[in-house]
Amino acid sequence: MHQYIEKILRAKVYDVAEETPLDFAPGLSERLENRVYLKREDLQPVFSFKLRGAYNKMAALTEEQAARGVIAASAGNHAQGVALAAKKLGIKALIVMPKTTPEIKVKSVKARGAKIVLHGDSYDDAYAHAQELVNEKGLVFIHPYDDPEVIAGQGTVGMEILRQHNGDIHAIFVPVGGGGLVAGIAAYVKFVRPEIRIIAVEPDDADCLNQALKAQKRVQLAQVGLFADGVAVKQIGAEPFRIARQHVDEVITVSTDEICAAIKDIFDDTRSVAEPAGALAVAGLKKYVEQYALHRQTLIAIDSGANINFDRLRYVAERTLVGEHREILLAVAIPEEPGSFLKFCKKLGKRSVTEFNYRYFDVGMAQVFVGITSSGLEGDREQLIEHLRADGFFVTDMTFNELAKDHIRHMVGGHGPVDLNESVYSVEFPERPGALLKFLQSLGSQWNISLFHYRNHGAAFGKVLIGLQMADAECSAFEQCLHALGFAFEQETGNPAYRLFAGGSVG
């Protein structure tokens, strides 16, 4: 690690980057009963830490390399760092970005003078195309994370933290995509203060470091979730993995709901809006505190970026209550008779109802979809469900049912009028203009669509719930079609949310 310490100490990042503050988070600290600090990399000129590594790498280029120009593949933040660094150094830059990149990031890169090529649906698609252009145009590739100079540039974040807080630190929480940031911070911190724990944080649907550590080798994920687009990487970098194996103490994975709740936590304490990848470390910190019942410790989370589309805030707000354990979602069967709704609401006591969906269907029983506020205390949800069941209500917990949260709560129309013999799938595909049309065209006309629900979340992905009338034997052909398109999907025909609120009835 001596080599990295020297590189970090000599890094040239401060020609363009700023030493960002380490801000105390009073709200989080009080609620978690620990001293929580946020390293505000969202305050960099490009609203992300990526500028550090990009500039450090490009400042080390020879005159001959700089004259050739540079190219990078990025979902946005690295692209902005390369663009600003190129402008500062007078180097021509070409950036390959996935077509799913949020518009705010594309505009920011263009504003800094770089040329852009939009290609593919993920970082990996953009990376492969950038490598083709390297060979074709003779450009120098600036890797977003798998490069010693880039890692050293990101390592200056760790150097600043130890300079800004020289007291006891229990752990530093670092978001992980390709691994450049966690590798740089771990290399420096473990050399200077080996007692400090380095906790890597990943989305549970893009945990390439977690899976690699379990396998004791780098693995290629078949699919990655697109919500936290800044860390949607299928394989950890080779050099970051080498460092992480030695110096990362633990990996925490978090859900989309937990990330959304962390975005709100950061907003409450700083009045700034983090992007999903930017809030990842805070989500991991909260989960770590709960998991280990930690008290009176100093914890630091990297707020790594703030490049979020405004339209995505609707989706974030919808999922935050569940992520904070402040909303319980239930399917409840109640007698279809006068006074039933009133009786049910009385059983809720002083709890507020956040959502109530109902449609007449059966003369005997009514099926309602209800959202109810929770205290957030451990066991509160279980106690409520037990209380309702004790009073004779049939209750199905929908709080963690993705189908219910993404689709059922927004659908109207209720059950199908007859047994439709339908197979139901939830499908996730990269969002861009015309994506929904392309999805429908790819299915052709061989199956009749009996159910369809789609909402544009202003995000990098679209989610469809689709029912098709087809025999069981045809399901494999449909799934092969989805595999060929590269779409992530789940068979949902047996999902209780579908069966209780949208499934066909026997005519």
In three-state form (DSSP H/G/I as H, E/B as E, the rest C), the secondary structure along 184-243 is HHHHHHHHHCCCCEEEEEEECCCCHHHHHHHHCCCCCCCCCCCCCHHHCCCCCCHHHHHH
- pLDDT tens, position by position, 443-470: 777 777 777 777 655 556 677 888 888 8
pLDDT at 302: 98
How much is the pLDDT for 370?
A: 85
Query: Whole-prediction pTM value?
Result: 0.78
Domain hosting 425: range is 410-501
Indicate if 166 and 296 belong to the same structural domain: yes
Give the C-alpha distances (Å, rounded to integers) separating 78 from 4, 57, 81, 83, 151.
Answer: 21, 12, 5, 9, 13
pLDDT computed for residue 506 by the predictor: 45
Asked which of 119, 141, 163 is the last residue of a domain, the reply is 141
User: For residues 473 and 127, what is the distance between their CA atoms, to the nearest angstrom?
Assistant: 38
Question: Can you give the CATH number for the domain in which 335 is found?
Answer: 3.30.70.260
Q: Is there a domain that residue 344 lies in? A: yes
- Are 317 and 331 in the same domain? no
Q: Are residues 36 and 65 in the same domain?
A: no
Same domain, 41 and 57: no
8 A C-beta contact, residue 262 and residue 134: no
At 113-160, the pLDDT tens digits run 999 999 987 777 888 999 999 999 999 999 999 999 999 999 999 999
User: Number of folded domains in the chain?
Assistant: 4
- 250-254/327-335 β-pairing: unpaired
CATH number at residue 451: 3.40.1020.10
Give domain status of residue 381, yes or no.
yes
189 occurs within a structural domain: yes
Site of tokens 């890597």: 200
CB 253 within 8 A of CB 4: no
Residues 6+ apart with CB under 8 A from 204: 225, 253, 254, 255
Let me know whether 108 and 169 are in one domain.
no
> Does residue 475 lie within any of the structural domains?
yes
Residue 405 located in a structural domain? no
CATH code where residue 311 lies:
3.40.50.1100
The Cα–Cα gap between 262 and 83 comes to 29
Same domain, 196 and 161: yes
Report the catalytic residues: 50, 304
In a domain, 507, yes or no: no
The owner of tokens 């099926």 is: 367
- Boundary (domain end) residue, out of 400, 430, 446: 400
Per the domain annotation, does 336 fall within a domain? yes
Q: Which two tokens stand for residue 454?
A: 């789609």
Same-domain check for residues 19 and 164 = yes
Residue ranges with strand state E in 293-447: 298-303, 327-335, 353-358, 365-373, 394-397, 422-430
Residues 385 and 483 in one domain: no
- For residues 239 and 293, membership in a common domain is answered with yes
Q: Do 197 and 73 have their domain in common?
A: no
What is the C-alpha separation between 416 and 426, in angstroms, rounded?
18
Q: Assess if residue 506 is contained within a domain.
A: no
From first to last of the 507 residues of the chain, give the pLDDT tens digit: 789 999 999 999 999 999 999 999 999 999 999 999 999 999 999 999 999 999 999 999 999 999 999 999 987 889 999 999 999 999 999 999 988 777 777 888 999 999 999 998 777 788 899 999 999 999 999 999 999 999 999 999 999 999 999 999 999 999 999 999 999 999 999 999 999 999 999 999 999 999 999 999 999 998 888 789 889 889 999 999 999 999 999 999 999 999 999 999 999 999 999 999 999 999 999 999 999 999 999 999 999 999 888 878 888 888 887 778 888 999 998 887 766 767 787 788 778 777 777 665 666 777 888 888 888 787 889 999 998 998 888 999 999 898 888 888 777 567 776 677 889 999 887 766 556 667 777 777 777 777 777 765 555 667 788 888 888 888 888 888 888 877 889 999 999 988 888 886 544
Instruction: Please say which residue of 357, 378, 400 terminates a domain.
Output: 400
Are 132 and 193 contained in the same domain?
A: no
